[in-house]
Copies of this chain bind each other. A is one copy, B any other.
Amino acid sequence: MVSIKDIAKKAGVSISTVSYALNGSNKVTDETSSKILAIAKELNYVPNAAARTLKKRESKILGVFLTDFSGDVYGDLLSGMKTVCNAQGYDLIVCSGEQSHRMLPERMIDGAVILDHTFASKELLQYADRGHKIVVLDRELDHPNINQVLLDNKAGATLAMEHLIEQGHTKIYVVTGPEGSFDSAQRMKAVRQVTEREANVEWIEIEGDFEKSGGEQAAELIIRDYTEPVAVFCLNDEMAIGLCNRLAETDLQIGRDVDVIGFDNIELSKYVQPRLVTIDYSKRKWGSLAAEQLIKIIAGEPVDHERIYVTLVEGGSVRSQVQQETRLPNRHERAVSY
């Protein structure tokens, strides 16, 4: 391995002069500098990241932590993050799994974006207490070293529920996310709020897991108890699609017998038949905002919590108003976007 020591020896100068030249300091003559640079190139010199990180106490690398690599949500999110990071001189690495938690406390990375419920909030607060900088995308956490960039779950779930109610539905199944999911809890809160205002709306909670299989299981229940047209609000698209798949094997028709609405607008939801009604938001913006916030708190700049706005995407999985037999009175039209 070739180090600045080797360059110094070959150039007949001291290592400090080499370091200065390599870092473009103006304390060194152009002549010496270019000679050093030439030798460095000749020797294929590459700086050692560990040594630099050790000395400078920063790695210029940011990490984003995901529960798993398979989510359909992540492409644009990561893309947006990377763009911002690179523009600001940071590198971005994507990590997943318990093992990689160490990256932050061991100072391999300068900060972390968390979209991974396997991180306990307690753990994150501990890191923050030790001075590590964090942006959370999947929970609320109050700490000077932690910033939040959250989806407007409440608006999204409200949009979804009101859309179904406007179609005249009075029986609505709600398929939740896994226990402990912040997004699920937030969305459920909005569901409760909406239904409290609507005396004639009955809603039934079905426990899900944010995976296709959860949607399939929910479908079983719905099929079993089916007597009249119902609506289902799946708290994410993945489950909505699982539910639709299972329903497609029966005589129950989506958008007629069972209206379905999801959340996330993943790419797949464009392709299922009929097109899934869902809640959309800019994943790219979510990512870029998260990265921006993280870099700001690392730089010691003050930041406020941010919110990602959502809209409703229409589709065939909810029957249109013109087809409906009954329509609730006194319901005014609502703007589709919050």
Q: A residues within 8 Å of B by Cβ?
A: 44, 46-51, 53-54, 59, 61, 63, 68-72, 74-76, 78-79, 82, 86, 91-97, 99-100, 102-103, 105-108, 126, 130, 241, 267-268, 271-273
Contact = CB atoms under 8 A, between A and B. Distances in A.
A54 B50 contact: yes
Contacts of A61: 108
B106 A48 contact: yes
A94 to B, nearest CB: 4
A99 B75 contact: no
A99 B91 contact: yes
Contacts of A103: 49, 91
Nearest to A130: B44
Task: State the number of copies, please.
Answer: 2
A193 B271 CA distance: 35
A53 B1 CA distance: 14
B47 A106 contact: yes
Contact of A50 (B50, B82, B92, B271): B50
Contacts of A44: 126, 130
B59 A69 contact: no
Nearest to A241: B271
A106 B46 contact: yes
A95 to B, nearest CB: 6
B75 A108 contact: no
Contacts of A63: 93
Given A46-B102, A46-B105, 13 more contacts: A50-B51, A50-B59, A51-B54, A61-B108, A68-B75, A69-B94, A70-B79, A82-B96, A91-B95, A92-B97, A94-B94, A268-B271, A271-B271
9 contacts: A44-B126, A46-B105, A49-B103, A54-B54, A69-B94, A70-B75, A92-B100, A93-B94, A94-B95
Given A54-B48, A267-B268, A93 B86 contact: no
Nearest to A98: B86
Which of A44, A86, A99, A130 is the most central at the interface, judged by chain B CB atoms within 10 Å of its CB? A99
